[in-house]
Amino acid sequence: MLWVNVRVLEFCLGLSLLGAFGCSAGPDPIAFKNRTFYETYGGQLSASQLRLLEEPYPPLDLETGAGRPYIGVKVLGGTVRLSRPKDWVIRAASLEPQKQFIQYVSPREVVFAVYERVESPLDPWRVLMGRYEEDVKKSGGELLGGGVPTMTWNAQARVYDVRRSVAAPKTPFVNLSREYLTRSEHRVDLIQIVHQGQTMEQVSPELSRVIETLQLL
C-alpha cells in the first residue's frame, strides 16, 4: 500500500530535480493561508513514488504556445488517462486496492481528484446514482442539483454540484464541488473538482481539456 500527503510548496521545490514532470509555477504564498485548497502536510515524494502514482502518457501532451501546456498522464495504476496542466502538483494519493485515488492542486485554487469506486459497471445508472447520492448525504454533503448526463473521452458520466462544510479552527469552510460519476465498460470512478466561488466560470477553461481527454480503461 502507498498513501502520501504532499506538502505542496516543498514538493514544487524538490520536483525541480524531476524535469520530466516539472513544476513550472506554484501557488502565490498567500494562497497557503486558505487551508481548504492548500493544506500543508508532512512528507515528500521520492522519484520512485512519483512514478508509481503517475506515469507519463505522451499521446495526450499538448503544447499551447503562449497558453498553458498540458501533459498526458496515467494514474490509479494505469487505469485512468488524462491530459492535465503542467503546473498542477499532487496533493495526496493512494494505491491501496479498491481505495485508489489521486488529488491534484492547481495554482489557481482548484483541487482536482479521481477516486476509485467499488461498483459494477454493469449496474444501471439509477443504482449507481442512488449509491453515490447516499454516500454524499452520509458524508454531510448537500446535493445542489445534478445527475445531468455528459461524456468524457470514452466514458459516460452524470454531473452533480455538491456543497460541503469542512472543519476549521474558527469557522467551517464551505466547499463547492463539481462531481462526475463516470463509468466505462470496466470500471466506475468519481471525478471531483473543488473550486472557489459560486460557479465554475473562472476555472472551466483550465478544466475542459482534462475532462474531454479523460479515459477509463
Question: Which sequence spans correspond to the domains of the chain?
Answer: 3-216
Average pLDDT of the chain is 78
Is pLDDT of 46 > 90?
no
Q: What is the pLDDT of residues 130-163, one digit of tens each?
A: 999 999 999 889 999 879 999 999 999 999 999 9
Contact 139, 192 (CB under 8 A): no
Q: How far is CA 194 from the centre of its chain?
A: 8
Residue 10: per-residue pLDDT: 33
Residue 150: per-residue pLDDT: 96
What backbone torsions phi and psi does residue 182 show, to the nearest 5 degrees? -115, 150
Selected residue with higher pLDDT from 44 and 191? 191
Measured CA to CA, the distance from residue 132 to residue 186 in angstroms comes to 18
Give the up-direction half-sphere exposure of residue 6: CA atoms within 13 A in the CB hemisphere: 26
Residue 50: per-residue pLDDT: 77
Residue 26: per-residue pLDDT: 36
Is pLDDT of 42 > 80?
no
Contact 132, 141 (CB under 8 A): no
Is it true that domain 3-216 has CATH number 3.30.360.10? no
Selected residue with higher pLDDT from 56 and 200? 56
Residue 124: per-residue pLDDT: 97
The whole-number average pLDDT for the span 24-31 is: 37
Q: What is the pLDDT of residues 155-200, one digit of tens each?
A: 999 999 999 877 666 766 778 899 999 999 999 999 999 977 666 6
Closest CA to 64 of 209, 214, 203: 209
The whole-number average pLDDT for the span 45-63 is: 85
Q: What is the full DSSP assignment across 5-71?
A: E--HHHHHHHGGG-TTT-------GGGGG-HHHH---S----HHHHHHHEEE-GGG-B--TTS--EE
Q: What is the pLDDT of residues 74-90, one digit of tens each?
A: 999 999 999 999 999 99
Q: What is the pLDDT of residues 107-126, one digit of tens each?
A: 888 899 999 999 999 999 99
Q: What is the full DSSP assignment across 110-173?
A: EEEEEEEE---TTS-HHHHHHHHHHHHHHTT-EEEEEEEEEE-SS-EEEEEEEEEEE--SSS-E
The pLDDT confidence band at residue 60, using thresholds 50, 70 and 90, is very high
Q: Which three cell numbers stand for residue 59?
A: 499521446
